[in-house]
Amino acid sequence: MIDFIVSFINEIKSYFVPEKLTYEITGKCKKCGKCCNHMYSFDTYTEKEFKFMQFLFPAYKRFYIKGKDDEGNLIFACKLVTEDGLCSDYEHRLPMCRKYPAKRVKFYAKLIDGCGYKINKKEFKDYLK
Protein backbone atom coordinates (compact mmCIF):
# COMPACT_ATOMS: atom_id res chain seq x y z
CA MET A 1 0.00 0.00 0.00
CA ILE A 2 2.86 2.37 0.87
CA ASP A 3 4.48 1.70 -2.53
CA PHE A 4 1.23 2.65 -4.23
CA ILE A 5 0.99 5.91 -2.27
CA VAL A 6 4.62 6.82 -3.03
CA SER A 7 4.11 6.05 -6.72
CA PHE A 8 0.92 8.09 -6.77
CA ILE A 9 2.63 11.09 -5.12
CA ASN A 10 5.58 10.87 -7.53
CA GLU A 11 3.18 10.75 -10.47
CA ILE A 12 1.47 13.93 -9.29
CA LYS A 13 4.85 15.64 -8.70
CA SER A 14 5.94 14.77 -12.24
CA TYR A 15 3.25 17.07 -13.66
CA PHE A 16 4.89 20.05 -11.95
CA VAL A 17 8.46 19.42 -13.11
CA PRO A 18 9.35 21.53 -16.14
CA GLU A 19 10.92 19.54 -18.93
CA LYS A 20 14.55 20.53 -19.31
CA LEU A 21 15.91 18.31 -22.03
CA THR A 22 19.21 19.13 -23.63
CA TYR A 23 20.98 17.25 -26.37
CA GLU A 24 24.75 17.11 -26.41
CA ILE A 25 26.56 17.63 -29.71
CA THR A 26 29.80 15.76 -30.35
CA GLY A 27 32.13 15.34 -33.30
CA LYS A 28 34.08 17.78 -35.41
CA CYS A 29 33.71 19.78 -38.58
CA LYS A 30 34.71 18.10 -41.84
CA LYS A 31 34.86 21.48 -43.61
CA CYS A 32 32.60 20.20 -46.36
CA GLY A 33 30.06 23.05 -46.32
CA LYS A 34 27.06 20.71 -46.07
CA CYS A 35 25.72 22.51 -42.99
CA CYS A 36 25.92 25.88 -44.80
CA ASN A 37 23.97 24.47 -47.73
CA HIS A 38 21.31 22.75 -45.65
CA MET A 39 20.09 24.94 -42.75
CA TYR A 40 16.85 25.18 -40.84
CA SER A 41 15.49 28.25 -39.12
CA PHE A 42 13.83 27.70 -35.76
CA ASP A 43 11.10 30.31 -36.28
CA THR A 44 10.80 30.83 -40.04
CA TYR A 45 8.04 28.83 -41.67
CA THR A 46 7.10 30.69 -44.86
CA GLU A 47 8.84 32.58 -47.64
CA LYS A 48 7.06 35.74 -46.52
CA GLU A 49 8.51 35.39 -43.00
CA PHE A 50 11.96 34.83 -44.49
CA LYS A 51 11.71 38.01 -46.60
CA PHE A 52 10.66 39.90 -43.47
CA MET A 53 13.69 38.54 -41.58
CA GLN A 54 15.93 39.71 -44.41
CA PHE A 55 14.32 43.15 -44.20
CA LEU A 56 14.90 43.33 -40.42
CA PHE A 57 18.39 41.84 -40.60
CA PRO A 58 20.08 42.72 -43.94
CA ALA A 59 22.96 40.34 -43.17
CA TYR A 60 20.49 37.49 -43.76
CA LYS A 61 20.42 38.41 -47.44
CA ARG A 62 23.38 36.05 -47.76
CA PHE A 63 20.89 33.18 -47.37
CA TYR A 64 18.34 31.91 -49.83
CA ILE A 65 15.58 29.32 -49.68
CA LYS A 66 16.93 26.13 -51.20
CA GLY A 67 13.73 24.11 -50.89
CA LYS A 68 11.63 22.18 -48.40
CA ASP A 69 12.18 18.91 -46.60
CA ASP A 70 9.71 16.01 -46.51
CA GLU A 71 7.82 17.67 -43.64
CA GLY A 72 7.44 21.02 -45.42
CA ASN A 73 10.13 22.85 -43.41
CA LEU A 74 12.13 25.46 -45.32
CA ILE A 75 15.75 24.61 -46.08
CA PHE A 76 18.19 27.50 -46.42
CA ALA A 77 21.63 27.79 -47.97
CA CYS A 78 24.35 30.42 -47.86
CA LYS A 79 25.38 32.21 -51.04
CA LEU A 80 28.94 32.63 -49.74
CA VAL A 81 29.94 28.96 -49.60
CA THR A 82 32.54 28.02 -52.21
CA GLU A 83 32.56 24.80 -54.24
CA ASP A 84 35.15 23.51 -51.75
CA GLY A 85 32.63 23.96 -48.92
CA LEU A 86 34.46 26.89 -47.33
CA CYS A 87 33.15 30.35 -46.48
CA SER A 88 34.27 33.00 -48.94
CA ASP A 89 33.79 35.70 -46.28
CA TYR A 90 35.09 33.82 -43.24
CA GLU A 91 36.37 36.90 -41.38
CA HIS A 92 32.93 38.58 -41.55
CA ARG A 93 30.68 35.59 -40.94
CA LEU A 94 27.58 36.03 -38.79
CA PRO A 95 27.57 35.29 -35.04
CA MET A 96 25.36 32.25 -35.65
CA CYS A 97 28.02 30.88 -37.99
CA ARG A 98 30.81 31.63 -35.51
CA LYS A 99 28.97 29.81 -32.71
CA TYR A 100 27.96 26.78 -34.78
CA PRO A 101 27.45 24.25 -33.43
CA ALA A 102 26.42 24.91 -29.87
CA LYS A 103 27.66 22.27 -27.46
CA ARG A 104 24.08 21.65 -26.35
CA VAL A 105 20.69 22.34 -27.90
CA LYS A 106 17.22 22.26 -26.36
CA PHE A 107 15.55 20.54 -29.29
CA TYR A 108 16.41 17.46 -31.29
CA ALA A 109 17.75 18.88 -34.53
CA LYS A 110 18.35 17.18 -37.85
CA LEU A 111 21.80 17.10 -39.38
CA ILE A 112 22.52 16.44 -43.02
CA ASP A 113 23.95 13.01 -43.84
CA GLY A 114 27.74 13.06 -43.82
CA CYS A 115 28.05 15.83 -41.24
CA GLY A 116 30.93 15.37 -38.82
CA TYR A 117 28.75 16.31 -35.86
CA LYS A 118 26.32 14.05 -34.06
CA ILE A 119 23.42 14.98 -31.80
CA ASN A 120 23.26 12.51 -28.95
CA LYS A 121 19.62 11.81 -28.29
CA LYS A 122 18.87 10.68 -24.77
CA GLU A 123 16.46 7.85 -24.25
CA PHE A 124 14.04 7.62 -21.32
CA LYS A 125 16.21 5.01 -19.60
CA ASP A 126 19.13 7.51 -19.63
CA TYR A 127 17.11 9.87 -17.42
CA LEU A 128 16.45 7.08 -14.93
CA LYS A 129 20.17 6.65 -14.26
CA distance 28 to 129: 28
- For residue range 45-89, list pLDDT tens digits in order: 788 888 988 998 899 899 999 998 888 888 899 999 999 989 999
DSSP string, 42-89: SS--SHHHHHHHHHH-GGGGGEEEEEE-TTS-EEEEETTB-TTS-BTT
Q: What is the pLDDT of residue 108?
A: 63
Is 96's pLDDT higher than 70?
A: yes
* The pLDDT value given to residue 120: 81
**pLDDT at residue 99 greater than cutoff 70:** yes
14 contacts: CB under 8 Å, gap ≥ 6: none
Question: CA-based angle 74:78:79, to the nearest 5?
Answer: 125
Residue 35 burial class via C-beta count within 10 angstroms: exposed 0-12, middle 13-18, buried 19 and up: buried
